[in-house]
Amino acid sequence: MKKFILGLFLILGALSFAAPKYVNTDKITQLGYKVDNDIPEIFLFQKMEPDGTGISISLFEIPNKSSKYISDMEKENTPSEAQFIGSVQNNRAYVNKFRYLDVYTYNFVPKKQKVKDCHISVLYMTKENLSGEKLNKVIDKILNDAESVLK
């Protein structure tokens, strides 16, 4: 399980130490997230909920690419151990769903960018098989968190 989660994070890149100028790191801490690593193109923060649910939010700059492109790129770069379940979208995000052993991973990318060329990608890992309104509530809450740290 740890190798799988590590693999998901490794698709995001190598380490560096400067937060992008459009990120409010104090707000990240206030929301209970911890900055895990950041590189020039990707800034990553995450937290573990008391129920064992893991949330990883990455912010990265890719000029002139659509959110759908980013979502498809994330799907293509997922470790082969993860079983792809399917893709859906709601009014706010593109969602890819994966399963590895007893953990479901939802990758969602918002359709609209708050900061030009800054894309948000979320990995939400849980033992719960989410769909419909419950999944939409999770997406809204986490995207609200992610967008609230942007200046």
If DSSP states are collapsed to H, E and C, what string results for the chain? CHHHHHHHHHCCCCCECCCCCCECHHHHHHCCCEEEEECCCEEEEEEECCCCCEEEEEEEECCCCCHHHHHHHHHHCCCCCCEEEEEEECCCEEEEEEEECCEEEEEEEECCCCCCCEEEEEEEEECCCCCHHHHHHHHHHHHHHHHHCEC
Q: How far apart are the first and last CA of the chain?
A: 35
Domains held by the chain: number: 1
In a domain, 108, yes or no: yes
pLDDT, residue 5, reads: 53
Give the range of the structural domain holding residue 10, as residue numbers without chain letter.
2-120
pLDDT, residue 44, reads: 92
pTM: 0.84
In a domain, 110, yes or no: yes
pLDDT by residue for the chain (151 residues), tens only, comes to 545 554 545 444 333 346 778 889 999 999 999 998 756 668 999 999 999 999 999 998 889 999 999 999 999 988 889 999 999 999 999 999 999 999 999 999 999 999 988 899 999 999 999 999 999 999 999 999 999 999 8
pLDDT, residue 21, reads: 82
In a domain, 91, yes or no: yes
